[in-house]
Structure 1
């Protein structure tokens, strides 16, 4: 009699667990939610949108909720406050946090872009471009302390131009308003991301004459990062996230600008497909999209050089302080 009772109870437990697999650690309901904040919506971040649209995050059992948190300061505030779990932002922001002596440092774990993403546009471009043409001009740059501006100044100095003495540098305009300021007539030269550069070329407002990405070299320009405490408590989740990123990076590397554009169009619904293709093509041709999530030491040192020259670095920060490549290395091994 007792055996029959125990068998009945065991069978009931099996049925209950089968009916609630999500609660027992299985089934579609067990996806882990990860809140991601991107510093801006940009074609520059194509691998992220590919990972979302192609289902690479879902394959890893993750439910990624993406939000745009405009500006590096707002993105970092959201991360530090716990409003988001992971940030896609310039790696310089993690250095700024470290320099302030944070007890819970922000750790770079997955590189997305490996060059600057801006281009130099000339309002009245001649047949041939020479950097000396910028001397005495009005240059519409980017926000002080941000990677676009630091990479821009690094490039100007590399080409023999003192940005604070040889030209009129405007850098007090919010990132979101730079393109409209140029369109309204401000500046003879402007530093722009895609797709705005391609849009202005199509509209006849100017011509792209140089790439700051090419000129400033490889560096961990945009990286997925999170707090050390989040990694400590969610190591498996960070690994799955990095696995999905690597799948997306490999997909982007193997596919055409047209295919990539079609994959990311849901995130740029108001954009012209030809402009998106043109933007992806430019970034792909100059190697802006990282093909794996690893932040290597040479890139990191170049970043420090750029920040040091801009006067934004208190001390050189060794990569092992705020870079963790272990997740990227495991993702590559598992492929």
Structure 2
């Protein structure tokens, strides 16, 4: 009798375990690049916030806005973390199932101006006539870079020797080996260059450009309609991570997300995260407000890259964020 009872208990446990596993929903998430800028996302993964929502999130790095959006629109990814400007480009193509922004992760530009030489008393005029290795045409880093330069009365196409021919992934190595005097870099690359004496961080494009929905979680309109509950669970996990990042210091955050940056020293991770925290780059909630959206369109328009006056109400869905934040 005892053996039968024990067997039934084991079978019951296996049944419950199987049921729990069946309830777990898989979400394929594509990130545009691997960056410390996305620290809250890695916190959500490492701290088990997605798992606690019953989600199995599989992360893939798709390296570039175009490839990330292709993955999303083709069904290779359910959700994409990418610059919100990409959703405007898709919308302008009169797509029937366009990408909708539903949760904001970063709220400033994440790049820094790095110079080969030291500039103890740097002014933006120091860049005039110099070789500047820019980012790809139509991408947020380049558009924000141009916006900031114009703000300081510098025309990037006439006052600088501007090179935009290098692929995103190859920009750091091109700067190292080339004759460029300035470059626009994300962390931790900027700090690594500084530590190794290969460059000097002299300005922040994030501080200069103001708040903008720089990196946002988006999904196809059809996916959002058919999977509202799962998108809410995803956003709830991200919101928990955002609050966790806001409440913890840079060194604690660095220790948690270190597995995603195995080739970077912990002290560099810490200083880079602190730099982003100090300038308010990490959004503290997933809500993308209309003022930020309009700032994005202004930046794109000044760069000559705004293809259409993309309406906030069409491309931004705040219902999920508001639902999660009001719980």
**TM above 0.5:** yes
Structural mapping, 1:160-199, within 5 Å: 160-199=153-192
Equivalent in the alignment of 1:32: 25
Q: Could you tell me whether the CA contact under 8 Å between 1:249 and 1:291 is conserved in 2? A: yes
Give matches, 1:307-318, under 5 Å: 307-318=300-311
Question: Does residue 60 of structure 1 match 2:53?
Answer: yes
Question: Matched residues in 2 for 1:130 and 1:96: separation?
Answer: 34
1: distance between equivalents of 2:20 and 2:307? 49
Bigger drift between 234-243 and 312-321 goes to 312-321
Q: How many residues align?
A: 318
Q: Matches of 1:315 and 1:50 in 2, distance apart?
A: 35
Q: Distance in 1 between matches of 2:48 and 2:252?
A: 16
Q: Which residue of 2 aligns with 1:250?
A: 243
Q: CA separation in 1, counterparts of 2:50 and 2:165?
A: 38
What is the CA–CA distance in structure 1 between the aligned matches of 2:146 and 2:78, rounded to whole Å?
32
Measure how far apart 1:206 and its partner are: 1.8
Rounded to whole Å, the distance in 2 between the matches of 1:194 and 1:268 is 11
CA offsets 1:151-196 (integer angstroms, 9 cap, x no match): 0000000010000000100111000110001111331011000001
Which of 166, 184, 196 is matched with 1:203 structurally?
Answer: 196
Q: 2: CA distance between counterparts of 1:27 and 1:35?
A: 19
1:65-115 CA distance string (max 9 Å, x none): 001001000000000000110000000000000000000010000100000
Partner Cα distance (1:77, 1:157) in 2: 32
Is 1:149 the counterpart of 2:137? The answer is no
- Report which of the two structures shows the higher radius of gyration computed on alpha carbons: 1
> Take 1:128 and 1:144, find their aligned partners in 2: how far apart are those partners?
30
1:282 is aligned to 2:275: yes
2:295 match: secondary structure = helix
- Map 1:69-148; keep pairs closer than 5 Å: 69-148=62-141
| d(CA) in 1 for partners of 2:257, 2:13 | 38
Give, in whole Å, the separation in 1 of the partners of 2:281 and 2:240. Answer: 17
Deviation of 1:20 (Å): 3.9
CA contact (8 A) 1:121 1:209 kept: yes
Q: Is the 8 A contact 1:140 1:186 kept in 2?
A: no
CA contact (8 A) 1:22 1:30 kept: no
CA distance in 1, matches of 2:218, 2:179: 35
Structure 1 unaligned spans of 5+:
1-14
Q: Secondary structure at the match of 2:326?
A: helix
For the residues of structure 2 that align with 1:55 and 1:78, how far apart are their CA atoms? Answer: 25
For 2:7, the equivalent position in structure 1 comes to none
Paired residue for 2:293? 300
Q: TM-score, normalised by structure 2?
A: 0.95
**Would you say the 8 A contact 2:300–2:306 is kept in 1?**
yes
C-alpha separation in 2, matches of 1:246 and 1:265: 20
Q: What do the CA deviations read for 1:241-292 (whole angstroms, capped 9, x no partner)?
A: 0000000000000000000000100111121111111110110100000000
Q: Normalised by the size of structure 1, how large is the TM-score?
A: 0.92
Question: Mapping of 1:216-231 within 5 angstroms?
Answer: 216-231=209-224
Structure 2 gap segments, 5+ residues each:
1-9
- State the match for 1:272 in structure 2: 265
Q: Which residue is equivalent to 2:36?
A: 43
Asked if structure 1 preserves the Cα contact closer than 8 Å seen for 2:88 and 2:308, the reply is no
Match of residue 324 from structure 2? 331
TM-aligned CA deviation for residue 314 of structure 1: 2.3
